[in-house]
Amino acid sequence: MFDISKATIEQDFPLGTTVCDTNGTRAIYVHAPMVSISAYQAVGFDAAFRAAPLAHTMAYDCWSVGFAQTAIAVDEYGWLVVAGGVNLRVKIAPRTRSGTDLYTSDTPGILSGCSKRGILIEGVVTLQSSGRCSEAVPMVATCPRPAPF
């Protein structure tokens, strides 16, 4: 049985396993071999399902995008949400408004409403604005991906 709220030291599923729960949330199983992932970060993962907090270069190289709903420590395995909207959250930069386009930011794993240096991530929308600090807000994801440029 899969649980998107847990990360494990042992590999419990083949990497890339995709599941769907009763709420329609779709998740994919990944490994964080080199860096830890915080809960609610936007995450990039490659074709080998190696994951890390989403950075400009990853989006530029068209890595796949998902959202961690729990922390995944270095060398642990866990699930990233790639579609859904029930009780899901994503970290966004301060003063990012709900419903705006979201871009990579200078802080890996945090999306921003500022397009100056970031790369647009299509297929994700926040349902709440952020205040003065970065925070995890409710979101809906529909197959998020870096926009073509």
Residue 124 host element (H or E): strand 120-126
pTM metric for this prediction: 0.94
The 10s digit of each residue's pLDDT in 36-51 is: 999 999 999 999 999 9
The 10s digit of each residue's pLDDT in 119-128 is: 999 999 999 9
* pLDDT > 90 fraction of the chain, expressed in percent and rounded: 83
| Across 121-143, average pLDDT | 92
pLDDT, residue 140, reads 94
Question: What's phi and psi for 46, nearest 5 deg?
Answer: -95, -175
For the beta carbon of residue 82, count every other beta carbon within 10 angstroms. Answer: 22
